[in-house]
Amino acid sequence: MFDRRVTTNFDWTLFWLTYAIALIGLVNLVSASRPDAVRQLQWVVIGSVVLAVFLVVHYHVIGRAAYFGYAVVLAMLAGVLLFGRTGGGAQRWLPLGPVAVQPSEFAKLAVIVVLARWFSRDGRGDEPLGLADLIVPGLLAGVPTVMIMKQPDLGTALIIVFIFCAMVAIHGIRLKALLLIVGTGLAASPVVWRHLKPYQRSRLLTFMNPEADPQGTGYHILQSKIAIGSGRLFGKGFTEGTQSQLQFLPEHHTDFAFAVWGEEWGFLGAFLLLLLYFVLILWGLNIALKAKDRLGTLLAYGITAYLFLHVAINIGMVTGVLPVVGVPLVLMSYGGSSVVTTLACVGLLLNISMRRYMF
Amino acid sequence: MVYLGDGDHEGRELRNRFQYAFIVVVGVFTLILFRLTYLQIIQGDTFRNLSESNRVRIRVVTAPRGIIYDAKGRILVDNRPAFDVKLIPEDVRDVAEAIARVGRLLNLSEEEIADRVAKASPPAPPWRPVLIKGDVSRDELALVETRKLDLPGVFVDVGQRRAYRYGKLAAHLLGYMGEISEAELKRPEYRDYRQGEFIGKVGVERRYETYLRGVHGQKHIEVDAAGREVAFLREIPPIPGKDLYLTIDLDLQLAAEEAMQGKSGAVIAIDPRNGDVLAMVSAPAFDPDVFARGITAAEWQALTRDPRKPLNNKGIQGTYPPGSTWKAIVAAAGLHAKAITPDTALHCGGTFPFGRRVFRDWKLSGHGAVTLYDSLVQSCDVYYYRLGDKLGVDRIAEEALGMGFGQLTGIELEGEKPGLVPSTAWKQRRFKQPWFPGETISVAIGQGATTVTPIQLVNAYASLANGGKLWRPHVVSRVVDIDGTVVYERQPELIGLTPTTPAANRAIARGLLGVLEDPKGTAHSQRSKDFRMAGKTGTAQASSRLYSVKDEDKIPWHLRDHAWFVAFSPEVDAEIAVVTLAEHGGHGSSAAAPVVKAVIARYWELKRMRENVQAPIGGRG
């Protein structure tokens, strides 16, 4: 299974890109919340071990274990709903020994792997998907999505839905099926609206008109925009960001970490970080394109979609272009489950990348 | 094989779709870049100005704490304005130097100055005000105000403090306030409390904290980079705390406090009809105002080191041997077990030989033929030696437990003690030893291992005069909202019924009435011609004294006996029951009974004044 050729083909670019971003994330956390920076470092170390595991085990083996891993994650999600710990108004945490984990983060990876496995199974061609072909994958993505909505965690549920859409899109879908789904979605939106929690609704409404209530729900967005904008070209300097240091910024170490970075390092710092993410995502797409089989392509593509969606939604959210839905910025936001999942994803990407030359 | 090879139709399709993916990624990143350019380059100066001048700070507006009233609606505790001197660290160049300057002006000790400097240093945020001295006097206030220019960063905050209208009155019951501790901040019930906040630490202030506190408001203030207030944005007004109405009657409490003047011990008056606590004194008391303005280390040490334990609420936390007051309980056990009837006469010759020991009566010549009535009136020891011997310790223990001893009464105040009712099972458990029959003889007259709290004793005696009902004592009758809505109303709560029969209760009450009304009664000197009361004296050994001293004044204070008196009035369907324990006070009849008498007398006097009702008068023939 493991071959010496593997090391010669190791994807150092991807590796260094990932750890460069992780390092920036740690530096930023030192400014935002020092004790969390130390804990985040511990999570990066733990995540690196997980990365190594996902790198060494051939991704075919991981593909074969897809349903098992998926079942474990479902069990954990059920555990959260039954006896999860509450944090920040939602029940997202599952106590596991000394730490509490957020199984909804693991669910993202589990859904990617299980969908890649399903869409790459033998005996089916590359025909565009019809409605009937969407039933099984729809259920595979839908069950954890509903469970995560129950917590409630709108951001994560949306990410899974988007990952599903992205994987269906790359596979190809019949126009008729697409129109039908979009139509039903629009028709169902009033029902979904009624099932949203009041705070989720108010965030969406605030997004439409953020200046309406600067001291209430629009506060987050406004303060975040002030933080980023006030960084100007060169930033205010490390630990000099008044917005974050004076606690005007809410959750500045988690979902709003990018605003801290933008305030203290300015446009140049934000541009650098954006560039790193951009190259990372293009690199991931390239790995997907060059993978040696369909499973590798779909896995690498799904993971890249995961990275892209987090970056796009989170930065869109903190710059005031998208509603605040609670999506972490990979490797920048504080959070053990997110860091571990992201590094597992990168491990899998490296896995696919270095095995593309072997037959 | 080459997957996604050029010639492969399937591969070409997928490649096409990947091109779309690339386009989406490039497009989104371009949009983000535009957005950042807009925010940081084009609007950068605007946002920089906003961040520097438009800082919103949130000031907490403390909610006025609920007022505590007595049963008749008279204010016992409310709030008064207080001036706190504070400093904002980021407004001064040298925090330590600035604090030292203002600290010396306000006569703070060097330790206190060091403590404030530590509180003002990182990791504390530099914009958060640090309290230098709370509740300063008018003179100190003037001192700070006149030197304002020399004291940058220092400002005076108007806060509020608890005002205890009657000083030390009912201090233990009302409790006191104190700064929330680190340990308390971590507890879930104090989740939304801030550091430096004052909370109820003891007594009613603590138990009813959630009602009294109210909901703090917020003031949103725009401040500039230097922390100066620029504009007032909006205010979320605080919701005042809810008011408490106690069961305590201020007039009765004042009478009890006055009667306990100079003594050490406890007085509790309850209403036997429902468990209302009408007065509760623990002496000596502390001054709750000292805590309200922030107690100093020296003051705290003085309180904790005082041998008379002023911080203890002795009525519920002090456990003492019950002495002769226990005889009523042993009598109840005897009647219950049918070991005696009220008319059974037991002989008292002044001594009771048991095994190789001889137990003496307090009256060496003896009482002769003694019935239940005589035994209580004259507090005959030998009668109870004999009765105790007949019953055995476990039947006494069973009766005592049934009357509420050996367990908490459940009064809504912290730190109540259960006392101890010895039994064979207890001794086996505690000492791994069998019970010796000789020990029962001591237990029968309230000595030995038995200990009770004053609240237990008065509650048990009240049950003799209310048909055997054991009410849970309580001190708060209702909680009222700011708009007058009653949010909580205390209903009388029955702990249980005592095992004694109504006939037995009546027989014992008759004997207790004789203690005062019968010329032979041990407290006959304390009877009143204005009202009838039934009671019992008790003297509890504070130390195992082996010698006899004729002149009691020569015994050191802390070795003198505790004096008990517990009584209710009138002797049937009593309206008030009062207990007094005078620590190291000597005899029950002389040290404790006058206090009880004063409280009961005041009760009837008040009732007469308020309702024009005559107290049940009259002696026995």
Backbone angles phi, psi at B186, to 5 degrees: -80, -15
> Residue B1: pLDDT band by 50, 70, 90 thresholds?
very low
Residue B258, helix vs strand vs coil: helix
> Is 90 exceeded by the pLDDT of residue A213?
no
Give the minimum alpha-carbon distance from A72 to chain B in angstroms, rounded to a whole number. 31
As to burial, measured by CB atoms within 10 angstroms (0-12 exposed, 13-18 middle, 19+ buried), residue A184 is: exposed
B334 touches B387 (CB < 8 A): yes
Distance between CA atoms of residues A88 and A94, nearest Å? 14
The conformation of residue B186, written as its DSSP 8-state character, comes to T
List B282, B324, B379, B463, catalytic entry: B324
How many CB atoms are located within 10 Å of the residue B588 CB?
31
Q: What are the tens digits of pLDDT across the range A301-351?
A: 999 999 999 999 999 999 988 887 789 999 999 988 999 999 999 999 999
Facing residue for B55 by CB, picked from A125, A248, A281: A248
What tokens does A223 get? 């303060």
Taking CB atoms and an 8 Å cutoff, what residues of chain B touch A213? Answer: none
- Residue B177 β-bridge partners: B200
Distance between CA atoms of residues B557 and B307, nearest Å? 11
Antiparallel, parallel or unpaired: β B243-246 and B75-87: unpaired
> Residue A100: pLDDT band by 50, 70, 90 thresholds?
confident
pLDDT (0 to 100) of residue A325 = 79
pLDDT higher at A12 or B557: A12
A117 touches A109 (CB < 8 A): no
As to burial, measured by CB atoms within 10 angstroms (0-12 exposed, 13-18 middle, 19+ buried), residue B496 is: middle
* C-alpha torsion B381→B387→B391→B395, nearest 10: -60
What integer is the mean pLDDT of A61-76? 94
Distance between CA atoms of residues B69 and B385, nearest Å? 48
Across the interface, do A262 and B13 touch by the CB < 8 Å criterion? no
- Residue B198 β-bridge partners: B179
What integer is the mean pLDDT of A253-275? 93
> Is 50 exceeded by the pLDDT of residue B46?
yes
Based on its alpha-carbon atoms, the radius of gyration of chain A, rounded to whole angstroms, reads 20
As to burial, measured by CB atoms within 10 angstroms (0-12 exposed, 13-18 middle, 19+ buried), residue B162 is: buried
pLDDT (0 to 100) of residue B6 = 44
What tokens does A95 get? 């106590």
pLDDT (0 to 100) of residue B5 = 46
Give the 3-state secondary structure percentages of chain B, helix then strand then coil, rounded to 5: 40, 20, 40
pLDDT (0 to 100) of residue B3 = 58
Full 3-state SS string of chain A: CCCHHHHHCCCHHHHHHHHHHHHHHHHHHHHHCHHHHHHHHHHHHHHHHHHHHHHHCCHHHHHHCHHHHHHHHHHHHHHHHHHCEEECCEEEEEEECCEEECHHHHHHHHHHHHHHHHHCCCCCCCCCECCHHHHHHHHHHHHHHHHHHHCCCHHHHHHHHHHHHHHHHHHCECHHHHHHHHHHHHHHHHHHHHHCCHHHHHHHHHHHCHHHCCCCCCHHHHHHHHHHHHCCCCCCCCCCCHHHHCCCCCCCCCCCHHHHHHHHHHHHHHHHHHHHHHHHHHHHHHHHHHCCCHHHHHHHHHHHHHHHHHHHHHHHHHCCCCCCCCCCCCCCCCCHHHHHHHHHHHHHHHHHHHCCCCC
Distance between CA atoms of residues B145 and A245, nearest Å? 32
Residue B49, helix vs strand vs coil: helix
**Is there a catalytic annotation at residue B324?**
yes
pLDDT (0 to 100) of residue B620 = 40
Across the interface, do A282 and B25 touch by the CB < 8 Å criterion? yes
With residue B156 as reference, give the H or E element that holds it: strand B154-164
Distance between CA atoms of residues A349 and B370, nearest Å? 101
End-to-end alpha-carbon separation of chain B, Å? 125
> Is 90 exceeded by the pLDDT of residue B340?
yes
With residue B92 as reference, give the H or E element that holds it: none
pLDDT (0 to 100) of residue B253 = 96
**A233 closest CA partner among B50, B30, B37, B29:** B37
Burial track B52-76 (b if 16+ CB lie within 10 A, e otherwise): eebbbbeeeebbbbbbbbbbeeeeb
What tokens does B410 get? 């459940």
**A221 closest CA partner among A261, A263, A249:** A249
Backbone angles phi, psi at B120, to 5 degrees: -95, -5
Facing residue for B28 by CB, picked from A215, A312, A359: A312
Facing residue for A243 by CB, picked from B21, B35, B51: B51
* C-alpha torsion B183→B187→B189→B195, nearest 10: 50
What tokens does A289 get? 């394109």
Distance between CA atoms of residues A177 and A161, nearest Å? 17
pLDDT higher at B1 or B399: B399
Q: What is the biggest distance separating any 2 CA atoms in chain A, rounded to whole angstroms?
A: 62
**B362 closest CA partner among B381, B346, B376:** B381
Name the closest residue on chain B to residue A290, using Cα atoms. Answer: B4
pLDDT (0 to 100) of residue B224 = 55
What integer is the mean pLDDT of B483-489? 89
Distance between CA atoms of residues B533 and B530, nearest Å? 10
pLDDT higher at B611 or A18: A18
As to burial, measured by CB atoms within 10 angstroms (0-12 exposed, 13-18 middle, 19+ buried), residue A292 is: middle
> Residue B235: pLDDT band by 50, 70, 90 thresholds?
confident
- Residue B406 β-bridge partners: none
pLDDT (0 to 100) of residue B321 = 93
Mutate to test the interface with A, among B40, B41, B221, B222 (most CBs of A within 10 A): B40
Based on its alpha-carbon atoms, the radius of gyration of chain B, rounded to whole angstroms, reads 34
Across the interface, do B51 and A319 touch by the CB < 8 Å criterion? no
Taking CB atoms and an 8 Å cutoff, what residues of chain B touch A178? Answer: none
What integer is the mean pLDDT of B495-518? 92
Distance between CA atoms of residues B568 and B534, nearest Å? 6
Across the interface, do B1 and A321 touch by the CB < 8 Å criterion? no
Facing residue for A315 by CB, picked from B3, B32, B46: B32
pTM: 0.61
Which residue's entry shows tokens 């309850």?
A: B270
> Is 90 exceeded by the pLDDT of residue A41?
yes
End-to-end alpha-carbon separation of chain A, Å? 12
Distance between CA atoms of residues B437 and B427, nearest Å? 12
pLDDT higher at A36 or B579: B579
Write the ipTM.
0.92
Which residues on chain B place their C-beta less than 8 Å from a C-beta of chain A?
1, 3-4, 10, 13-15, 17-18, 20-22, 25, 28-29, 31-33, 35-37, 39-41, 43-48, 50-52, 54-56, 125, 127, 220, 225, 233-234
**B566 closest CA partner among B438, B433, B465:** B465
Kindly give, in sequence order, each residue whose CB lies less than 8 Å from that of residue A73, ignoring residues fewer than 6 positions away: A103, A106, A107, A110, A144
pLDDT (0 to 100) of residue A309 = 96
Give the minimum alpha-carbon distance from B1 to chain A in angstroms, rounded to a whole number. 8
Instruction: Scan residues 221-250 of A and list those with Cβ closer than 8 Å to B.
Output: 225-233, 242-243, 245-248
> Residue B2: pLDDT band by 50, 70, 90 thresholds?
very low
Distance between CA atoms of residues B37 and B337, nearest Å? 95
> Residue B590: pLDDT band by 50, 70, 90 thresholds?
confident
